[in-house]
Structure 1
Amino acid sequence: MRTLLPVDCSERYVSWLNQPEINRYLETRFEPPQTLESVRSYVSAVAERSNEQLFGIFLDDGVRHVGNIKVGPISNPHRVGDVSLLIGERDCWGQGIATEAIQAVCRYAFVQLHVRKLSAGMYAPNRGSTRAFEKAGWRHEGIRRDHYLLDDSPCDVVILGLRPSDLPG
């Protein structure tokens, strides 16, 4: 895992954001199709924000970009932040890569950014994401009933949270 830079953006990364099977639970699916330019612009914009950090998840000694994880926005007065995740390479789903990235970004947020609590929300049918966060020690904090629309039907959002004392090991 390392800070994602505009130079890391590739057509492969762009394709994740435009594939319905991969973007099914991402809000980007409601936007116009992503382009290399729009993705690089997003990565640059996040890099300029002091309250967000976007990391790329890389395998094969840092060569193969398989996903991203972001911490933020961080509310400095409350020292809380959000975590969001995307594993774009389907062959990496269910391999524990997401859980490992979640644990790493949490340690970073607690130690380096002095965040006291992290939160994440995911569409209820997105069991893979929920399991990855649970394996990383996250706890259920609630459900937002019928909060989003999925396939034009109301869908619950699962809310999870993590404090430093919740981290495994």
Structure 2
Amino acid sequence: MKAYHGDRVYLKEVTEADITEDVMKWFKDEELMKYYTNSKQAITREKLLNSIEEGKVKGNLFTFGIYSAEEDLLIGTIKLGPIHQVHKTSDLVILIGDRNFLGKGLSVDAIKLGNQLAFEEFDIRKLYGGMYESNIPSIKAYTRAGWLVEGRLKGFYWVENRNEDRILVGCFNPKYFSQNEIDEVASSQDRFYKW
């Protein structure tokens, strides 16, 4: 696989040796996990490794480490998948797990590399995702990395006895989408989300 390096971060496929006790602490941090998963189930090392291996075997889910270029340190993960092979679409989920690297814009850098990886290595036609409306840092990170707001699902989440909308975002591979198509989405995104 081609190396995906930026100025401040780089991506490489996660191995079993990368899943250390320090990494597993990320998945026990309630604040980090607040928006990360809808299942609210505990993520154990065994479950994580099984998921990574199963995704590779099926060829539809791949987990990459986000490494700080300066420290050569694993600071987070990007999960590409599940990949829909027929439609060439995929989710792209990012987690900066090492709190020492939060708030520095590294997630934007990592998402940009994830876009490049998805489009070049896996020939993904369109990336998609959704997040809690209250997860403003995530919405900003994705949109700063070239994603566009495509829609809103009213009351999709049930949070603390109230409805919360899901903001839908997408990123379009210019190999498959014309600039006019991308501009059309960009021109309507304010209907769904106000910055």
Is TM more than 0.5 here? yes
Q: Secondary structure of the equivalent of 1:18?
A: coil
Look up the match of 2:34: 24
Q: Is it true that 1:6 corresponds to 2:51 in the alignment?
A: no
- Select 1:50's aligned residue among 19, 44, 59: 59
Residue of structure 1 aligned with 2:78, choices 56, 64, 69: 69
How far residue 81 of structure 1 moved from its aligned partner, in angstroms, is 1.1
Give the unaligned 5+ runs of structure 2. Answer: 1-10, 175-181, 183-195
Please say if residues 6 and 43 of structure 1, whose CA atoms lie closer than 8 Å, have aligned partners that are also in contact.
Answer: no
Q: Distance in 1 between matches of 2:66 and 2:38?
A: 19
Q: Deviations over 1:47-78 (max 9, x none)?
A: 32301221011125674211101111111111
Matched with 1:121 is 130
CA contact (8 A) 2:62 2:81 kept: yes
Letter in 2 for 1:114: D
Work out whether residues 6 and 41 of structure 1, in 8 Å CA contact, stay in contact via their aligned partners in 2: no
In the alignment, residue 90 of structure 1 is paired with which amino acid? R
**What are the Cα deviations for residues 20-72 of structure 1, in whole angstroms up to 9, with x where unaligned?**
111001226611x3333333333323332301221011125674211101111
Deviating beyond 6 angstroms after TM superposition, the runs of 4 or more aligned structure 1 residues are none
In the alignment, does 2:144 pair up with 1:131? Answer: no
TM-score normalised per structure 2: 0.77
SS of the residue aligned with 2:107? helix
Distance, in Å, in 2 between the alignment partners of 1:160 and 1:130 is 8
> Residue type of the partner of 2:58?
R
1:161 match: 170
* Aligned partner (choices 64, 78, 85) of residue 87 of structure 2: 78
Larger Rg: 2
Q: How many angstroms apart in 1 are the aligned matches of 2:31 and 2:55?
A: 25
Residues 3-31 of structure 1, C-alpha deviations (whole Å, 9 max, x = no match): 01111101111111111111001226611
After the TM superposition, which residues 131-150 of structure 1 pair with which residues of structure 2 at under 5 Å, given as runs? Answer: 131-150=140-159
Q: For residue 118 of structure 1, what is the amino acid of its counterpart?
A: L
State the alpha-carbon separation in 1 of the partners of residues 122 and 48 from structure 2: 25
- Secondary structure of the corresponding residue to residue 55 of structure 1: strand
* Identical-residue share of aligned pairs (%): 28
RMSD: 1.9
Secondary structure of the corresponding residue to residue 27 of structure 2: helix
